[in-house]
Amino acid sequence: MTPAEAIEAARRAGNETFILNLGPQHPATHGVLRIKLTMDGEYILRAEPVAGYIHRMHEKMGENRTWAQYLPNTSRIDYLSAMTYTHAYVAAVERAAGIEVPRRAEFIRVITSELNRISSHLVWFGAFLLDLGGFTPLLYAFDDREKILDMLEAITGSRLTYCYYRFGGVYNDVDDAFLGAARDFVPYMRERLKMYETLVTENLILRKRLEGIGPISKKMCHKYGATGPVMRGSGIAYDVRRMEPYSVYPELEFDIPHYPEGDCMARYRVRMEEMAQSLRIIEQAVAMIPAGPFQTPGVPKSLKPPAGDYCFAVEAARGRLMVRIVSDGKEMPYRVRWRTPSFCNITLFEEASRGMMLADALALLGSLDLVIPDIDR
């Protein structure tokens, strides 16, 4: 009997349903997400995500500080993939004010963004397996992540919420030590990915838990605006880095991993392969990085972009991230609006989890890789 038939049978038999309150404090929601589940035994009839427990008014805060003062906010929306968020905002403002970015700065941005993407995926990898009851991979993933954080700390000064990109470049030039560390990290991480492949991906229990579980169709992705690994796991090879190229991504070679199955395993594999692709990008970018200035001189401290409406989209670790800024020609933004990937990805949970068992639904939730502050902003 499929779960859908089971529910129908339960309804016909007059079974009672009950509300199970998953969160806002629950070990599997990794933050303060609350999901109201209507359950029939262990089957989910309806899941209702309740967002807003960590709403911090990041968009409103943009309206009462100058363009540059808003920079630290950007890295606190999705704390795991802070670089890409700063990148989107900085690039949008550069587009508005017509600021050129030196090539060296673009390469630095690509290297740091991709390192950040790997560290973000490593956290997902650990947390996802924690959801599935495997505790050990988490600490191995954090061991690798530590190396990335050390590298980024050396050049940015912070370990998680970076404020490294500035209008017209980056805050600080990278030195040879950083580039050498990034170069050495690539073969090291490739070995580790091989180890994860044999130790975790090929584990029979894991495959049984992920294969065929939580299918998300292409149609569902279009309907809810799901992007990133969730969409690529449903067979749509959409990646902002390729579709709407920005920075120096067009000069770099990388593939867009995508799987047609649409189940949790597909999303798992997409993320694991994205780490390998990010390594490829880092390898090339470190080899190609030119000498030169890391910052365009003469960017005014109090920037006043001409009045207008500007957008910029980047590929964050969780999907398409777009920032829209509206300027009225003053020192402060008129409006800052974020289109965050986690928010769109959680909306499909209601439809995708219908009829699933609780444990499988939590695997599905983990495979969406949600960052709760990114949903609430």
Residues making contact with another protein (CB under 8 A)? 18, 20-21, 26-28, 41-42, 129-136, 139-140, 143, 203, 205-206, 208-209, 357-360, 362
Smallest distance from another protein to CB 14, Å: 19
**Torsions phi, psi of 39, nearest 5?**
-115, 150
Q: How far is the CB of 325 from another protein (least distance, A)?
A: 39
State the minimum distance, in angstroms, from the CB of residue 369 to another protein.
15
Query: CA nearest 224: which of 61, 344, 359?
Result: 344
Comparison of 28 and 226: residue with beta carbon closer to another protein? 28
CB atoms within 10 A of CB 234: 26
Q: Is the Cβ of residue 105 or residue 361 nearer to another protein in the bound state? A: 361
Kindly give, in sequence order, each residue whose CB lies less than 8 Å from that of residue 341, ignoring residues fewer than 6 positions away: 227, 228, 316, 318, 319, 320, 321, 374
Name the residue among 59, 312, 291 with its Cα closest to residue 167: 312
Minimum gap (Å) between residue 212 Cβ and another protein? 11
Q: Which is nearer to another protein, 14 or 27 (CB)?
A: 27
Please report how close the Cβ of residue 266 comes to another protein at its closest, in angstroms.
18
Q: 7 vs 101, which CB is nearer to another protein?
A: 7
Least gap, CB of 322 to another protein (angstroms): 32
Residue with smaller CB distance to another protein, 96 or 362: 362
Closer residue to another protein, CB minimum distance, 130 or 275: 130
Nearest to 99 by CA among 238, 325, 313, 295: 295
Shortest Å, Cβ 137 to another protein: 9
CA 315 from centre of chain: 8
| 19 vs 57 by CB, closer to another protein | 19
Query: Beta strand 18-22 with 34-40: parallel, antiparallel or unpaired?
Result: antiparallel
Nearer to another protein, 129 or 321 (CB): 129
Minimum CB separation of residue 1 from another protein in Å reads 11
CB of 221 to another protein, least distance (A): 25
In the bound state with another protein, the residue whose beta carbon lies nearer, of 64 and 136, is 136
Residue 98 Cβ vs another protein, minimum distance, rounded to whole Å: 49
Residue 245: partners with Cβ closer than 8 Å, 6 or more residues away: none
Instruction: Return the number of the residue (123 or 155) whose C-beta is nearest another protein.
Output: 123
**Pairing status of strand 34-40 against strand 43-50:** antiparallel
| Burial (Cβ within 10 Å: 0-12, 13-18, ≥19) of residue 296 | middle
Assess contact for 325 and 336: CB atoms under 8 A.
yes
